[in-house]
Amino acid sequence: MARKTAEERREQIVAIAFGHFAAGGYHGTSTEAIAREAGISQPYLFRLFGTKRGLFVACLERCYADVIAVFAAAAEGVPAGEDRLHAMGRAYIERLLRDRVALQFQMQAFAVAPEPELRDAVRQGYCDVVKAVIELSGAPPQATWSFFADGMLLNLIAVFDLHGIEGPEDWAASWARGGPL
């Protein structure tokens, strides 16, 4: 069996760590558990990423790159402006909101954003997504504002599983269908 290159090993570890951070958050995730699952030593994990923070940032970069890639693919061939925003929004709902691990990771990233050691990385990744949406869509600033506001609400609807409380809560049924009361 061929040995993996350091880059291949990094990608494998990021994929494993992504799931651990999504489930346990930054503080609740053990680098020892990640190393064990990857079949490597913890010192080797730190050789590749430097610190737990470095590993989390690598996961952030993957998360944001995946979102941008979905938006770019959705924007292809669609007229610039709000039509592209709608196409990108549909792609987000159809592809990204259904990925519970990615959605949980995003929520965990937002949860640690106030912490000085992670704030810049979380902020920069989000800024990269916003810039990509502006560039890809060609939509006016107010439309991109609404796009991100709606996206955050969609994240919460998915995380809270509002479909699960549709019966007893009229507002939840309406929101789960994608509209106001």
Residue 11: CATH number of its domain = 1.10.357.10
Q: How many domains does the chain have?
A: 1
Q: Collect all residues with Cβ–Cβ distance below 8 Å to 39 and sequence separation of at least 6.
A: none
Q: Which domain holds residue 29?
A: 6-176
- For residue 73, being part of any structural domain is answered with yes
Sequence-ordered alpha helix ranges (H) in 6-115 = 6-24, 31-38, 42-49, 52-75, 82-91, 100-112
pTM of the full structure: 0.89
The whole-angstrom separation of Cα 151 and Cα 153 is 5
25 located within any domain:
yes
Asked if residues 86 and 148 have their Cβ atoms less than 8 Å apart, the reply is no
User: Digits of tens for pLDDT over the chain (181 positions)?
Assistant: 678 888 899 999 999 999 999 999 999 999 999 999 999 999 999 999 999 999 999 999 999 999 999 999 999 999 988 899 999 999 998 898 889 999 999 999 999 999 999 999 999 999 999 999 999 999 888 999 999 999 999 898 888 887 777 666 777 777 777 665 3
Position 30 in a domain: yes
Q: Give the Cα separation of 50 and 156 in Å (integer).
A: 33
Residue 1 included in any domain: no
Task: Confirm whether 130 is domain-assigned.
Answer: yes
Whole-angstrom distance, CA of residue 17 vs CA of residue 159: 20
Q: Is residue 181 part of a domain?
A: no
Contact by Cβ (8 Å): 159, 103: yes
Q: Which residues, 6 or more positions from 29, have their beta carbon under 8 angstroms from its beta carbon?
A: 17, 20, 21, 23, 52
For residue 73, the tally of other CB atoms under 10 A from its CB is 14
pLDDT tens-place string over residues 107-142: 999 999 999 999 999 999 999 999 999 999 998 889
Is there a domain that residue 145 lies in?
yes
Q: 79 lies in a domain?
A: yes
